[in-house]
Structure 1
Amino acid sequence: MLTPLLLFCVFPAWSKQHTALNVQLDAQEYSYQVTGYLDDCTCDVETIRDFNNRKLFPKIQELLESDYFRYYKVNLKKPCPFWSDNSYCGLKDCAVKPCEPNEIPAGIRSESFKYTKESNVISQYERECEKAEKLGAVNNSLSEETKQAVLDWTRHDDSTDNFCEVDDEHCPDAEYVDLLLNPERYTGYKGPEAWKIWNSIYEENCFKPNSIRRPFNPLLPGRDDEGGTFYSWLQGLCLEKRSFYRAISGLHTSINIHLSARYLLQDTWYERKWGHNITEFKQRFDAQITKGEGPHRLRNLYFLYLVELRALSKVLPFFERSTFQLYTGNNTLDTKNKKLLLEILNLAKSFPFPFDEHSLFAGEKKEAENLKEDFRLHFKNISRIMDCVGCFKCRLWGKLQTQGLGTALKILFSEKQINSLPDSGPSQRFHLKRQDIVALLNAFGRISTSIRELQNFRELLETVQ
């Protein structure tokens, strides 16, 4: 949803929380910073900032540079499922360069190898499943153990805990992309198609009442049908719908920070220079320029950080098992990177003020289940919108980050399944594919980087005042 979803970056459409907020302004330079506690959380901005910048950020960046996490398989050729316009961005920075087969580590490109030892058993199931006329068929040639595995995996694939529409990795159009060589940054993608993406996300998928009309001009105050402020409806939403909106807004914020931090500053025949664009940053987040909206956008970034951090802490048991490997074919580095991953997850678990996912969907059982299903379907719809993005680099990072957030949501609502994982053997009730793992860590890495970049922008703003 959003990444240098640039497109997301070029045309912001934001939310505003009515919350106690300390915004420090300089009358001339419009500098600022957000402080204090976050709504719907028990944590303050300062604690998150210090924890991320001093402890977690360096480790997550080191991990994401490893071969296991830098290669992501994606299908950028899927048609848009919602409208027929197939126009694409013709700018050179919109392009994505896929990897050649020989550039992918052997352990990753091997079609037959799954990333854990336990999947040797799963692969056997899959081979036997091919004997059945269809996946759900119970063929007499299958063992009892395999029959049960087939049914379990069918239920897993249809699970209501899957929040994303993910690519078929075996599709001929799916290609590996080196994320380090195709970074999220400014591409110049803008126009009606970019507007259409954001409009579809906010207008159709964020639980916005019909009486609310979102203005396309972000500098103009919106109004509801009763003449109130555009954002006054948000506090009237239930916690679940409010959290959904804040997560989308937080992701939108993160994308805009990346756009501003990796902006094309100079483009000549002999040099292309990327760097921090203070003007762009202030245009999106300065309190006076945005009429007070910028700090609210930033607070939603910190909210999203807590959500994804909590998911990392809860999924620790899945990765702690001796059967799990970050397999690339280089045993020395694979062992080192698993150790680093566990350090990161244990660090996430040590955070003293985690997001409380138990407060979500905690009402009357049937009503809570219906709300969770709406929540899941809305987010899944957003993940499908990513195939409508005309800029391929924006599409790449949008698909990755939505899959990452979707995986985080799946983890948050799979506590019982995670806690009941076997020490060895197939984990049939809870399972993450390599693509899920790569997306989960890279998506959190984007949020972590955004919070670190805020410090860079604060320091840059101080030097120009």
Structure 2
Amino acid sequence: MSLKYKLIVFEIFLLISCTFSYFGTVLDDDCFCQLHGKIDDCMCNVDTVDHFNNVKIYPRLRSLLHKGYFRFYKVNLRRPCPFWSDDSRCAMRYCHVEACEDKDIPVGLKGDFSHLSTHNYNTENPYITQNCNDHNVELSYLNTTISAKVQEDIVLWSAYDDAQDNFCVLEDNDSESEYVDLLLNPERYTGYKGKSAHRIWHSIYMENCFRRTKTDNPYIQSSKLDNLCLEERVFYRAISGLHASINVHLCAQFLLSDSSLTEPNGKWGHNLYEFQQRFSKETTKGEGPHWLRNLYFVYLLELRALNKAANYLEREEFYTGNETEDWDTQLAVKDLLSVVRNFPDHFNESSMFAGNEQAEKLKYEFKQHFRNVSKIMDCVGCDKCKLWGKLQTQGLGTALKILFSGKFDEHSELTPSSKKQFQLQRSEIVSLVNSIGRLSTSIYELDEFRHLLR
């Protein structure tokens, strides 16, 4: 080969290398150009969240979510869609949710509370007799019975009072709810897409604006968010951040190979092209990078809720019946909460719904709109997508309940009696921690995609 020919080949090689390097930089800047500086409606920076999450929060959550208390989630996947006829079902095998066998469910989650022995009660109060036969027989008789009708009314009153604080529909007592092992059914790209999936997100976004008609475009340009009040911006950014987070999960766990011979369970991994399609400025009319910023916003919102409920959660037993693991779970939760407490720039919810009667009306509308979002999850045509959609929606709803119900505002130290005012059902705790785990994973995966692009 002549020297001249070698030089020509070398120049072509340099040209190709520079071209790929240039486009790599452009694509990197394109997807991540907005991921720096202060996060909208918050006090901290993107870089601060990246370091705090990837180094401190993500490793702890990843370990904690393998514990029995948090891996089993009770959910009803057969509830019909309340808004339209569910005419589109995912036919791919990866849409299927693998059910739990009864033997796999921890005994403590199946209603066995025999670990709570009676001698634990009333031992600290000398004025409460331990033996019912020790009462003074000469005292006049007090009828302590309650009629069946009154008992039924009390249950209804209690359920109504609890429902007033809930931002989503709870399914703990639903007769059709079943336990699902989340580790056996990881959130992945199942192939569920098209008109059905688009209608779900379109309907969710339609719930975001309280003063718009149903004919308006539900997707708001980031440049127009400043025209909304704080509460509306928070609602939109929370929904948009959740949407972005789910899209990151799907791109990070994408079906790369479906050969039944070489990959019987499928081959899953990062799909860089899919990530660029969902978040680059060119394919999203400039909005993709802003959607990723909203992911950071909803992460901070849920992290603040976890911090606000810390005193409550530190008193939970996280009972599953496995004494050793339950103890480890309690220690792991306390360790996580101690790290969360040290985060310097938590989301500040105190300025929301503050003031006059109009603020209370807006709060009611906020709650009702989000309850509708949780109901839309019953319309998802893919069971695995529905499972993770329900869990993450309930997790966000639980965070909103903690932040805005007012029941976690006053008591920094919870007593056994005051704790009843802050009752969270097990599914709320499980969904909240798993939801934060999903958001934490999304931010961690963004760093992976950033490296892939470079």
Shorter chain as denominator, the TM-score bin is 0.7 to 0.9
Aligned equivalent of 1:162: 166
Q: SS in structure 2 opposite 1:73?
A: strand
Q: SS in structure 2 opposite 1:355?
A: coil
Q: Give the direction of change, closer, same or farther, for the CA distance of 1:66–1:211 in structure 2 (3 Å limit).
A: closer
Which residue identity lines up with residue 412 of structure 1 in the other structure?
Answer: L
Superposed counterparts of 1:214-363, under 5 Å = 214=217, 230-270=221-261, 271=263, 272-321=266-315, 324-363=316-355
Q: Give the direction of change, closer, same or farther, for the CA distance of 1:156–1:385 in structure 2 (3 Å limit).
A: same
Q: Is the 8 A contact 2:374 2:394 kept in 1?
A: yes
Residue 373 of structure 1 deviates from its aligned partner by 0.4
In structure 2, which of residues 353, 357, 361 is the aligned counterpart of residue 370 of structure 1?
361
Residue 393 of structure 1 deviates from its aligned partner by 0.3
Counterparts of 1:449 and 1:359, CA distance in 2 = 29
Counterparts of 2:117 and 2:289, CA distance in 1 = 43
Residue 441 of structure 1 deviates from its aligned partner by 0.2
Which residue identity lines up with residue 41 of structure 1 in the other structure?
Answer: C
Residue deviations 1:241-264, cap 9 Å, x none?
011000000000000000000000
Aligned equivalent of 1:132: 148
Superposed counterparts of 1:29-428, under 5 Å = 29=24, 30-32=27-29, 33=32, 34-110=35-111, 132-133=148-149, 135=151, 137=153, 153-154=158-159, 156-159=161-164, 161-171=165-175, 173-207=176-210, 209-210=212-213, 213-214=216-217, 230-270=221-261, 271=263, 272-321=266-315, 324-364=316-356, 366-417=357-408, 419-420=410-411, 422-425=414-417, 427-428=419-420
Aligned equivalent of 1:28: 23
Residue 346 of structure 1 deviates from its aligned partner by 1.9
In structure 1, which of residues 440, 449, 452 is the aligned counterpart of residue 444 of structure 2?
452
Q: Is the 8 A contact 2:86 2:381 kept in 1?
A: no
Q: Is the 8 A contact 1:246 1:303 kept in 2?
A: yes
Counterparts of 1:300 and 1:165, CA distance in 2 = 24
Q: Give the direction of change, closer, same or farther, for the CA distance of 1:310–1:63 in structure 2 (3 Å limit).
A: same
Q: Give the direction of change, closer, same or farther, for the CA distance of 1:358–1:446 in structure 2 (3 Å limit).
A: same
Q: Is the 8 A contact 1:53 1:452 kept in 2?
A: yes
- TM-score after normalising by structure 2: 0.82
The structure with more radius of gyration: 2
Residue 429 of structure 1 deviates from its aligned partner by 1.6
Which residue identity lines up with residue 275 of structure 2 in the other structure?
Answer: F
Which residue identity lines up with residue 50 of structure 1 in the other structure?
Answer: H
- TM-score after normalising by structure 1: 0.80
Q: Is the 8 A contact 2:314 2:333 kept in 1?
A: no
Which residue identity lines up with residue 361 of structure 1 in the other structure?
Answer: F
Counterparts of 2:75 and 2:159, CA distance in 1 = 23
Determine what percentage of the aligned residue pairs are the same residue. Answer: 51
The structure in which a higher percent of residues are helix is 2
Aligned equivalent of 1:12: none
Residue deviations 1:169-218, cap 9 Å, x none?
341x2111000010001000122221221111112444473498438xxx
Q: Give the direction of change, closer, same or farther, for the CA distance of 1:129–1:444 in structure 2 (3 Å limit).
A: farther
Moved over 6 A (4+): 113-121
Which residue identity lines up with residue 238 of structure 1 in the other structure?
Answer: C
Q: What are the ranges of 5 or more consecutive residues in structure 2 without an aligned counterpart?
A: 1-20, 123-143
Q: SS in structure 1 opposite 2:236?
A: helix
Counterparts of 2:115 and 2:399, CA distance in 1 = 21
Residue 362 of structure 1 deviates from its aligned partner by 1.6
Counterparts of 1:134 and 1:119, CA distance in 2 = 29
Tell which deviates more after alignment, 161-170 or 106-115.
106-115
Q: SS in structure 2 opposite 1:452?
A: helix
CA RMSD of aligned residues (A): 2.9
Residue 117 of structure 1 deviates from its aligned partner by 10
Residue 415 of structure 1 deviates from its aligned partner by 4.7
Counterparts of 2:116 and 2:240, CA distance in 1 = 33
Residue deviations 1:262-309, cap 9 Å, x none?
000011122121000000011111234434222101100000011000
Counterparts of 1:51 and 1:132, CA distance in 2 = 54
Which residue identity lines up with residue 107 of structure 2 in the other structure?
Answer: A
